[in-house]
Structure 1
Amino acid sequence: MKVSDFDFHLPEDRIALRPMVPREAARLLEVADGLHDRRVADLPSLLRAGDLLIINNTKVLPTQLKGTRERDGQTAGFEATLIKSLDGQSWQAFLKPGKRIREGDRVAFGDLTADILSKNEDGVYVLRFAQSPSEVINGLHRLGGMPLPPYIRSKRAEDAQDLTDYQTVFARDEGSVAAPTAGLHFTPELLETIRAKGVLTEEITLHVGAGTFLPVKVDDTDDHTMHAEFGHITPDSAARINAVRQAGGRLICVGTTALRLLESACDDQGVIRPFAAETAIFITPGVRINSADMLLTNFHLPKSTLFMLVCAFAGTEAMKAAYDHAIETGYRFFSYGDACLLTNRSRD
């Protein structure tokens, strides 16, 4: 398929720079038999007793760092976004401006120091810290800011408010460099209302990588190489998820991260298997999705793999109509934006 088939025009003022307060006050577009304008607070009324919300409990690390480089008596400042831990001490990173950094440089982030080992053709650097893995993590919590996506950081700097805004109420298992943003809409009060209705919840873990924000640079989807992310579904979680489906309950994924992990662990009959590995699953229209029945997700970037995924899930024409409606009626887009609730049409 042509990547250009998934393009659309998004006015700059539709990009949300802060979340709604309270979180469940965000708008919710239900894409079912037609389009229905709601609020996230209405979600309990759209669910049934016996349904199961599948939640990604990953926790975002504050991997945005300000660094300095010393060379030939000259000091230069730069910014680093750590995007993937390779062994605890070595990390992949984006550096800006990259022209100030060379292979072999020693750089410092406060009391953390690292050597620049390499730079690949995609502009991703590999740094090796002098400190131990635990010291690096402690340093990130002392020195780092939230790694906000480029479409927010290009308009404002991250700040202390983002430390809580860019973290879900489910966040438990530290390891992501981007938030599972559909989960940002939930509050303890909303969860209490949902559970009081008899809706179940199950936590799984997919550590979100920065590749989720990288543009698709090819013309045809067949030529795109998907980024890999580590996911984990325990045997007990898999058993509980399967039991809900066997009892007739619906599986509702909170976010594309939960869906990609669930589908990676799913067989052709819809049975979820325990999973502990990296997944680079790429879901495009024409792919049958056997795992989830519904999907709660935010509004995604034009020509992104995530927009392709929602088109596969709910139908390309339906999603293009939904996005047109969202743009025309003032919905807020991307990580801090509004949400939509989709029904799986890939099995129709």
Structure 2
Amino acid sequence: MHPQDIRIESFTYDLPNDRIAKYPLAQRDASKLLVYENGGVTEDTYRNIAMHIPEETLLVFNQTKVVHARLLFQKETGGVIEVFCLEPDAQYHGIQNAMLQKGKVYWHCMIGGASKWKHGMVLSIKHEHPDFILSASITDRQPGYFTLELFWDDKDLTFAEVLHYAGKVPLPPYLHREAELSDDSRYQTIYAKNEGSVAAPTAGLHFTDAVMNDLAAKKIDTAFVTLHVGAGTFKPVKSETMAGHEMHAEWIDVDRHCIEKLLAHLDKGIVAVGTTSMRTLESLYWIGAKLLSGIEIDFEGIAISQWDPYEMNINYSADECLNAIIRWMQENEKDRIMTRTQILIAPGYDTKIIKGLVTNFHQPQSTLLLLVSALIGDEWKRLYDYAMQHDFRFLSYGDGNLIWKNQK
């Protein structure tokens, strides 16, 4: 079956509101861990995750950093208009570059109460300590987003700094609460580095220095990629079949050192920490496959579209594809790949790079459930039933699982 024909109603389950974790546990690695391997289900905590991973495995983490993407502008009449910053305008060729802009930047945003933002109106936020005024005007309207010109009067501040001071943590909408001071640190992984996400790579929220030390002590290697999580990660599938759903495109950034580590661990086993890491790694395979096949890649736009894996009739090894990327880097004097991926991983997809996945429990009828099902088929239902019956906490601040790919 082509994933376009998958009916999303097959990927639903009953999730009572009281099973959604509204707050994280006091200790990150105290969260429960459900381990699935060869049809067996066991239960532990993240503190002991190293016990469930063979030595010399490579764990790949997403080191993106969540930005304060929610901006609340007040009108002269007192009304509040909420702006949710999605991604920079294409002119900046990537989020990192856009975040370093000073004085002015153009950003694609969602606007709450957009009908109240009249043509030509400039809205502002006055911030103290440091003192600056952030202003915004609408320059373009497109289906699904607005383009805003955001400008500020302190020319020494980067946009990353402006967001940090003037914005709020963009908690997932299903938490139904305002961000609190504690969310600044808890809705962020301990290894977060590259600013640009509007949602946390939540599988990584459970990792602590103690857990990382245990991994190293067992000779479990680590590598880091970047995928800047977009608001589309919460986008529900509203069509009956996946043919009517457009996947969101997200920026990925992978350096040569990481790709070399992947090559060295293909036979030893690679585990993605989070669906974002998995989507990044699997996208690398298809980028390499396109290079080997002589297919033109739009690195400035979207390198991998959602249907590419199902419509490219190729069968290269992961080794061949990763080496093709390294050769491309050498030939083009690049030390990293920065582009966007729209990849959809769904039942029928056979992972090319990863053998296991660390992830949280996901929303019903979400593309992330399709991704889990690609690894273990309908067994995801048994996993989620077990979690529901054994008081696991669900979604971003909840518990999680270590899933090993079913062997065919």
> TM-score range, shorter-chain basis?
over 0.9
Amino acid at match of 1:8: Y
User: Residue 106 of structure 2 corresponds to which residue in structure 1?
Assistant: 90
Under a length normalisation based on structure 2, what TM-score does the superposition of the two structures give? 0.79
Residue among 302, 314, 329 paired with 2:376: 314
Aligned residue pairs total: 338
Runs of 4+ with deviation above 4 angstroms? none
State whether structure 2 residue 182 is matched by structure 1 residue 121.
no
Partner of 1:340: 401
Q: Is the 8 A contact 1:107 1:116 kept in 2?
A: no
What is the Cα deviation at residue 324 of structure 1? 1.4
What are the Cα deviations for residues 290-339 of structure 1, in whole angstroms up to 9, with x where unaligned?
11000000000111111111111221x10011111111221111111101
**Partner amino acid for 1:270?**
A
Which residue of structure 2 lines up, in the alignment, with residue 181 of structure 1?
A: 202
Matching residue of 1:79: 82
Paired position in structure 2 for 1:107: 123
SS at match of 2:75: strand
* Residue aligning to 2:385: 324
- 1:10-43 C-alpha deviation (Å, 9 max, x unpaired): 0101111111221110011111122111111121
Over 3 Å counting, the alpha-carbon distance change for 1:337 and 1:103 in structure 2 is: farther
**In structure 2, what is the equivalent of residue 62 of structure 1?**
68
1:103 Cα deviation after fit: 4.5
Partner of 2:167: 144
Among the aligned pairs, what percent are the same residue? 34
229-238 vs 128-137, greater mean Cα deviation:
128-137
Q: 2:317 aligns with which of 269, 279, 303?
A: 269
The 3-state SS of whatever aligns with 1:130 is strand
Shift of 1:250: 1.1
Instruction: Output the amino acid matched with 1:49.
Output: E
User: Is 1:279–2:341 an aligned residue pair?
Assistant: yes
- Corresponding letter in the other structure for 2:396: S
Counterpart of 2:269? 250
Looking at structure 2, the residues matched to 133 and 237 of structure 1 have their Cα atoms a distance apart, in angstroms, of: 34
Shift of 1:205: 0.9
CA distance in 1, matches of 2:71, 2:344: 30
Q: Does structure 2 retain, via aligned residues, the 8 Å contact 1:103–1:117?
A: no
Residue type of the alignment partner of 1:159: E
Q: Which amino acid aligns with 2:220?
A: V
Asked if structure 2 preserves the Cα contact closer than 8 Å seen for 1:181 and 1:335, the reply is yes
Confirm or deny: 8 A CA contact 2:73 2:124 kept in the other structure. yes
The Cα shift of 1:167 comes to 0.6
Whether 2:25 is the aligned partner of 1:20: answer yes
Give RMSD over aligned pairs: 1.7
Q: Secondary structure at the match of 1:201?
A: strand
Cα gap change, 1:236 to 1:94, in 2 (>3 Å): same
State the distance in 2 between where 1:243 and 1:133 align: 43
